Amino acid sequence: MDATKQNKVDKTLSVDDRIAFLRHCAKLYESNGTSPITDAVYDSEYYELERLAPNNPFFDEVGGLSVDAIQGQSVAHKVIMGSLSKCLDIPSVEDWLRSQYPSTVSVSYILQHKIDGLSLGLIYSDGKLVQAVTRGDGVTGIDVTEKAKTVKGVLHTISHKGEIEVRGECHKNRQEFYKQWHTSVGGVYKNPRNFTAGSMNEKDPEETRRRGLNFIAYEVVRRDFDTEIEKNVFLEQQGFQTLNTTTRRTKEGNDISKIVKAIKVYMDSIDRANLPYDIDGVVLKLNDIKAAKKMGTTSGGRKPKANRAIKFPPSMKETILKDVIPQVGRTGVVKPVGILEGVDLDGAMIKRVSLHNYGALVGKDAIKLGSTVVIAKKGDIIPQIVSVKKMGDKDVPIPSLCPECSFKLDWDNNQIELVCSNPNCIAQLNKIIEYWFKTIGVKGFGKGTIAILTDSDRLEWEGKPIINSLAQMYYMLDNDRKSEHPFRKYAYLKANMGEKTYDNLLASIKSVTEVTLPIFIEALGIENIGSSSVDIANIAPTVDDIDKLTVDDLLKISGFGSAKANSFIKAWKARRDEIKLLLKYITIKQVTMASDKLKGKKFCFTGSFANPTRGEMEKMVGENGGKLSSVSSELTALVFDGESMKGKYEKAQKLNIPIITQDDFLAMLK
């Protein structure tokens, strides 16, 4: 089943296919804030699948693309910086507690706010801050020391001697954020969480300082404590801002029903709108740290069994759907955007909402204009319609022409998406250019600059925009031939932009001249490919090899269905002339080979791993001459984490494929 063609949860599918659909929804949400299913449906499916396949690597993934896409030097955590397993609601907390303890218990839990920000680990040596690291994937993070020093609440010195690590959450005061930085007041950020990550990703620490971030400490590692309460007291003694004033502790000896009641009372008492930070739930921690450690961890050490995060139900408000307007995406898909009668939701004025696809707006049950709708925020961030209280009386207009280029729109094969197939559509071109440079690692210009270059109303040359294709961005590099057409237009551009701005633009473009083949493929922005570019490069290690690929070749790759395979082949051929031009300026560099010890061998990994992680081992395969593959008769071995017993493991057993451990795999490289 091709997950990209689904628009709802299908419980008749296999667990692997259901997880593939959730992964697709999560990717859409992280990249552009849309998803074909509501937050409540996503969470319900997530927790059900986590129970069915707890060892699937999907549930090990920590953080999100938008939050920890921080640039900098990678650093290995000395102690895994993981996350918490989540409970969807109070009843699921009670179910979990009853699975852990007898009906009468003598344990005590503490309850704290779950701040929605950027996790940091602050490492101190003999009282001095020596390093600050983001969470990353929990095993490795990014060094942000100099920028972290500008954050209020990050102490440069403490009284404790020896080496210790203080962990906590970096965040932006939410009242300040919604006054100055939110999209509703002309800013570019949708929520304080992304603002915090963006601020920590600034090159200049002084710019990070200007953004005014804050830090709250809640964890200490590399030092032993008896209880969580003692740990919080220690943090306050060192001078950190903590969650002590809002922390609550359940009484020892209470039965499970009383613990659950205490959790409900705590959650109901929180006035989220007036907190200085966003929270998306509460954290439940066993107060007795030694008892918690005895319970162990899951997901390769990333998630403690003793603790849980409990989500809030999303905030909801009623409003009116006034209009629906089309919006063109990078791949030509036209998405419907609902225009709402403005309503305040958790401090933000909400006027727009994604309606996912036009296929959902056709038919007798489709929503109509004038409907009274209930909106909520997906993950407390992205607004969406969760129900219709009263249906309106006017059908949503289905566009026949692209709103940007007036090209005829066509339905896709599944009658779900409307697509503009005009390769010269400016709306698509702007997003293609932006995505290309962002993916290959070029910095220095954004949407505003690109829009000027592609808008003939701002700058035109012979009645056309200065830039008509991605490749033309690189023609600027040949501007030494000023007297020769078409290069005279770049001299005209330089004169209009100003020499300094123009030179800075060229310097940005020149900053990246080599990329690996997987990055090159991904940067083209072909629909539904993304990280699958690694798999394509594994079976076709050169551009000429990709030219020869067939649909049948791609169907051998895990995650490729016929629709995805056909789509890639078609898009690659359609853009081959453009690819040829790009290769005049961009060199494909080879992945550095460590050895040829795995030459001719194919591997597949299943489950969760740490030190090295699954991703690191997959990289080792390529660096040592091997290839990644799905489970088939050609597979050399399935690398198994020792816990997962579903899907790939069972298929490998049926095919009599060798099943080896992580240690067995690493021994092959010695």
> Are 198 and 331 found together in one domain?
no
Task: Please tell me the predicted confidence (pLDDT) of residue 485.
Answer: 46
User: Percent of the chain beyond pLDDT 70?
Assistant: 88
d(CA 669, CA 660): 14
> Are 98 and 238 found together in one domain?
yes
**Residue of 274, 270, 276 lying closest to 246 (CA atoms):** 270
Q: Judge whether 207 lies within some domain.
A: yes
> Are 350 and 477 found together in one domain?
no
Which 3 state secondary structure label does DSSP give 367?
coil
d(CA 88, CA 16): 21
Highest mean predicted confidence (pLDDT) among 293-307, 373-387, 599-613: 293-307
pLDDT in tens, 519-574: 899 889 887 787 677 778 878 889 999 999 999 888 877 667 787 888 899 889 98
What phi, psi does 91 have (nearest 5°)?
-60, -35
Q: Judge whether 187 lies within some domain.
A: yes
d(CA 113, CA 24): 29
> Are 585 and 617 found together in one domain?
no
Tokens encoding 72? 């900098």
Which 3 state secondary structure label does DSSP give 111?
strand
* DSSP3 helix / strand / coil % (the chain, rounded to 5): 35, 25, 40
> Are 304 and 191 found together in one domain?
yes
- Show which of 311, 343, 363 is a domain's final residue: 311
pLDDT in tens, 208-263: 999 999 999 999 999 999 999 999 999 999 999 999 999 999 888 788 889 999 99
Residue 584, CA distances (Å) to 505, 510, 588 in order: 19, 13, 10
CATH of the domain at 611: 3.40.50.10190
pLDDT in tens, 148-179: 999 999 999 999 999 999 999 999 998 899 88
User: Percent of the chain beyond pLDDT 90?
Assistant: 27
> Are 298 and 390 found together in one domain?
no
C-beta separation of 292 from 300 below 8 A:
no
Give me the chain's average pLDDT, please: 83
Rg (CA), the chain: 26
Q: Judge whether 375 lies within some domain.
A: yes
pLDDT in tens, 477-507: 765 444 444 567 777 888 887 788 888 888 8
Task: Please tell me the predicted confidence (pLDDT) of residue 63.
Answer: 39
> Are 13 and 154 found together in one domain?
no
| Overall number of domains in the chain | 6
Q: Judge whether 433 lies within some domain.
A: no
> Are 147 and 21 found together in one domain?
no
Q: Does residue 269 carry a pLDDT above 60?
A: yes
According to DSSP, residue 43 is labeled H
**Residue of 185, 202, 62 lying closest to 121 (CA atoms):** 62
| Range of the structural domain that residue 19 is part of | 3-60
Tokens encoding 659? 């099943």
Within 10 angstroms of residue 321's Cβ, the number of other Cβ atoms is 24
Q: Judge whether 383 lies within some domain.
A: yes
Q: Judge whether 419 lies within some domain.
A: no
pLDDT in tens, 421-464: 886 777 778 888 888 888 888 877 777 778 778 877 677 777 77
CATH of the domain at 337: 2.40.50.140
Task: Please tell me the predicted confidence (pLDDT) of residue 68.
Answer: 43
Task: Please tell me the predicted confidence (pLDDT) of residue 346.
Answer: 66
CATH of the domain at 583: 1.10.150.20
Within 10 angstroms of residue 183's Cβ, the number of other Cβ atoms is 14
Task: Please tell me the predicted confidence (pLDDT) of residue 615.
Answer: 63
Q: State the distance between the two ends of the chain, measured CA to CA, in whole angstroms.
A: 39
pTM strictly above 0.85: no
d(CA 618, CA 640): 13
> Are 117 and 240 found together in one domain?
yes
Task: Please tell me the predicted confidence (pLDDT) of residue 134.
Answer: 92
Task: Please tell me the predicted confidence (pLDDT) of residue 644.
Answer: 52
State the amino acid at position 207 in one-letter form.
Answer: E
Q: Judge whether 93 lies within some domain.
A: yes
> Are 129 and 204 found together in one domain?
yes
Q: Does residue 64 carry a pLDDT above 70?
A: no
Relative to beta strand 316-328, strand 372-378 is antiparallel
DSSP secondary structure string, 582-610?
HTTT-EEEPPPP--STTTT-EEEEES--T
Task: Please tell me the predicted confidence (pLDDT) of residue 6.
Answer: 78
C-beta separation of 304 from 84 below 8 A:
yes
Tokens encoding 321? 């759907």
Residue showing tokens 């219709």: 388
Q: Does residue 40 carry a pLDDT above 80?
A: no
d(CA 129, CA 158): 8
Task: Please tell me the predicted confidence (pLDDT) of residue 13.
Answer: 85
Task: Please tell me the predicted confidence (pLDDT) of residue 559.
Answer: 65
- Split at pLDDT 50, 70, 90, the class of 396 is very high
Task: Please tell me the predicted confidence (pLDDT) of residue 28.
Answer: 66
pLDDT in tens, 272-324: 878 999 888 899 999 999 999 998 887 667 788 899 999 887 778 899 999 99
Which 3 state secondary structure label does DSSP give 489?
helix
> Are 90 and 177 found together in one domain?
yes
**Residue of 256, 356, 271 lying closest to 38 (CA atoms):** 356
Q: Does residue 194 carry a pLDDT above 50?
A: yes
Give the mean model confidence (pLDDT) for residues 51-60: 70
What phi, psi does 292 have (nearest 5°)?
-65, -40
- Split at pLDDT 50, 70, 90, the class of 66 is very low
Higher pLDDT, residue 590 or 99: 99
CATH of the domain at 256: 3.30.470.30
Give kind and range of the element (H or E) at residue 547: helix 543-547
> Are 164 and 103 found together in one domain?
yes
Q: Does residue 414 carry a pLDDT above 80?
A: no
Q: Judge whether 435 lies within some domain.
A: no
- Show which of 413, 435, 463 is a domain's final residue: 413
Q: Does residue 56 carry a pLDDT above 60?
A: yes
C-beta separation of 178 from 348 below 8 A:
yes
- Show which of 60, 82, 109 is a domain's final residue: 60
